Amino acid sequence: MTENKRKHLRVRSLNLLYFGVYEKDVLIKQGIGRTLDVSESGIRLETHFPVDPKNIVHLSIGLKDELVEIKGRAVHTVPGRSGKYEIGIKFNRIKKSSLEIVKIYITAFMEGKKRKGK
């Protein structure tokens, strides 16, 4: 059995996002993807191309009625379904206001699960 090393609760999340991949402050790729799950310290997303861990990723994510801007770095990339990639992003720069939106989103998700009895 593997040990769970995560510090924060991760919730399933299917939201569209825009992302840009930067190398030394130069945009080298950009695209549209979707979130698969989200936590206070990272996100797993689905994209059409892999992301190199040496690059910085800028994310613009629609969480409910809010747009959240986050910067992070890919910690792993694995082939996903239908030729797409699943990328784990660890946040390295997130504004306090954006982090609060992420926390509210996670709390609302968990409260919704409790009401449904799951």
Comparing 37 with 27, the larger pLDDT belongs to 27
> What ranges in the chain are assigned the alpha helix state H?
96-116
Over residues 77-95, mean pLDDT: 89
Instruction: Count how many domains the chain has.
Output: 1
The answer to whether residue 3 is domain-embedded is no
CA 107 – CA 110 distance, rounded (Å) = 5
The answer to whether residue 35 is domain-embedded is yes
The answer to whether residue 6 is domain-embedded is no
| Whole-prediction pTM | 0.78
Whole domain around residue 87: which residue ranges?
11-116
CA 5 – CA 14 distance, rounded (Å) = 23
The answer to whether residue 2 is domain-embedded is no
Q: Which CATH number does the domain housing residue 68 bear? A: 2.40.10.220
Over residues 24-36, mean pLDDT: 93
Q: Which of 54, 18, 20 is nearest to 35 (CA)?
A: 18
The answer to whether residue 85 is domain-embedded is yes
The answer to whether residue 84 is domain-embedded is yes
Over residues 86-106, mean pLDDT: 86
The answer to whether residue 1 is domain-embedded is no
Residue 64 pLDDT grade (very low, low, confident, very high; cuts 50, 70, 90): confident
